[in-house]
Chain A
Amino acid sequence: MLDNSKEPISALMDGELSEFELHRVLKESAGDPQVSEKFRRYQLQRSALQDADNRYLGLDISQQVAAAVADESGPTVSEWPRWLKPAASLALAASVAAVVVFSGPLLNRTNGEATPQLAELGAATSPALSAARQNLVPVTDGAGRNTNHEAQRAIEQALLQQRVNTYMQIHARHASMNGSQGAMPLARVASYRVQ
């Protein structure tokens, strides 16, 4: 059990965690439900939403990230020889990125290719979206890139997805209150929850 886990988790939430710290927190989080709970609580606090808005929330990204790390076939980071560390960084980044890939459809995983969603835009020339397309980062590119940065970026994206899920739940509640289709929109909450 971690007594001083608050700071690393806080840093993780802010995307300022080192690779080693990231791995340690995820590993300890996986083995300690209290740390997982603390992580989830931090996420909720950070999302700055009322209790009423979080009642359906069951998403815990730390579990998914930890599971992805656990799926790695290699030894733990602390046991890897120095020459393997770049590969370890890449594997970690790829694992975290995999979480993002399976967390939902994301703009940033496409590297400029139009997805069906982007295709909806047609000839739209939004400056913000153009900028977003230019900033796309391939999630599995390990050719000399700062993989730690990519891992943290992947976490940021996963957290954004979680935040969006919370917003979608709030939106669904408003849709059921102010829309014309009764409780049908509230049924959508089912698809934002972890099973």
Chain B
Amino acid sequence: MMNRRMLFPLAFVWLLLASCSALAGAEADEFAKATALMQGMTASFREQTYDGVLVLNRGGEMRSVRIVHVVKDGQEYERLVYLDGKPLQVVRGAHDIDCVHVGQRLLLDSAAGHLFGHYSAGSQGTQLHGYYQLELLAPGRVAGRPSSVVLVRPTDEHRYSYRLHLDRASGLLLKSEVLGAGETVLESAQFSQIMVGDAVDPQALEPVGDDVVFEDFHGVPVHLSKARATTWRLGWKPAGFMPAAHQRHAVEDQPQVSSQHFTDGLALFSVFVEATSKPVSVFQSRNGSTQAYVAPRKLGGTWASVSVVGEVPLATAVRIAEGVEPAIEQGASTQAGQQ
């Protein structure tokens, strides 16, 4: 009789623990699945052959771009055809599909917890903070193809949210929405139709007409650049953003504009610094999710125009611009350190 009385509370506790454990397990599974989807997205863009029409909506303005991406003998080739307004085609290739750039590497390494955090090994399975949190939403359908939907939420105020539709068959990103405050859609891009794999005709890579620009997949990799390519540096940037490239833009060998580019794996921002004879006006503009903030700044006794451009909120762009400062000479800093 006593045993039977004890049985119900024990069973209740057991059920509670089992439910918690199952819930934690389900969350961990969801997290792992969402992380894998994100990693698959960036790999698919390099490794898959596809041909589709992307519809871009930025601030209510719609533009269509055909994107042909062909992988052949381990090399990727690409052709973009801008379908509205003045004719323009951009042809890129060949690029080794094993050549992984900074943002892609950050995403592929995300299992280490850099971007999305990770689950601790407790029975509660707590997700530790990365720079974003992932949530799997109800499945969707884009361009006639079933999709998995991932909501990517930032854990600080320096990034936007993303709602991503990923092709269940190929892993390709079929639809991307960038969400601002209150989940307002700042920008969306989605394929209206897409072919993947053998259905793609490699001849679609061939440019037709004269309005062709040939591009390179590469900028100036940081590790190949000179040790100090710019005379300025960022005094502050949001945590998690890594340098992706820097560049000098020159006319007649007189370096006037230099830029540095950063990414956290999903968001990117660029900083441009140009010497000016007098302080420029403060200026701000936004196109879709791309924010631009220009401000005058005195660097080393001379005026410069500092422009921050990227998919970051305005307050973050302002703070980045305010932090731009002259770079300390490497030799000087070393000497100072030795003294």
* A binding-site residues for B, Cβ under 8 Å: 45, 47-50, 53, 55-56, 58, 104-108, 117-122, 124, 126-129, 131-132, 135, 153, 156-157, 160-161, 163-164, 167-168, 170-175, 177-195
Residue of B at shortest CB range from A123? B315
* B binding-site residues for A, Cβ under 8 Å: 38, 41-42, 45-46, 54, 56, 58, 61, 63, 65, 67, 69, 78, 80, 82, 84-86, 88, 90, 92, 101-104, 106-107, 173, 176, 180-181, 189, 213, 215, 217-219, 244-245, 247, 249-251, 254, 256-257, 259, 261, 263, 265-266, 268-270, 272, 274, 280-288, 290, 292, 294-295, 307, 309-311, 313-315, 318-319, 321-322
Cβ-defined contact, A48 with B63, below 8 A: no
Cβ-defined contact, A195 with B86, below 8 A: yes
Name which of B80, B85, B219, B314 has the most chain A CB atoms within 10 A of its CB: B314
Closest 10 CB pairs of A and B: A182-B45, A195-B85, A132-B282, A48-B256, A178-B244, A180-B42, A190-B63, A107-B284, A124-B315, A187-B65
Supposing A128-B321, A187-B56 touch, asked if A171 and B213 sit within 8 A by C-beta, the answer is: no
Chain A residues within an 8 Å CB radius of B92? 183
Cβ-defined contact, A106 with B270, below 8 A: no
Residue of B at shortest CB range from A116? B184
Cβ-defined contact, B251 with A45, below 8 A: yes
Cβ-defined contact, B261 with A171, below 8 A: yes
Q: Which one of A121, A163, A174 contacts B270 once the chains associate, using CB atoms below 8 Å?
A: A174
Chain A residues within an 8 Å CB radius of B218? 177
Cβ-defined contact, B309 with A168, below 8 A: yes
Cβ-defined contact, A187 with B80, below 8 A: yes
Q: Please, how many angstroms separate the alpha-carbon atoms of A118 and B106 in the complex?
A: 31
Q: Please, how many angstroms separate the alpha-carbon atoms of A49 and B82 in the complex?
A: 23
Min CB distance, A164 to chain B, in Å? 4
- 14 cross-chain CB contacts under 8 A: A49-B249, A50-B250, A117-B286, A126-B318, A156-B280, A157-B283, A161-B283, A177-B245, A180-B38, A180-B42, A182-B42, A183-B80, A187-B189, A189-B90
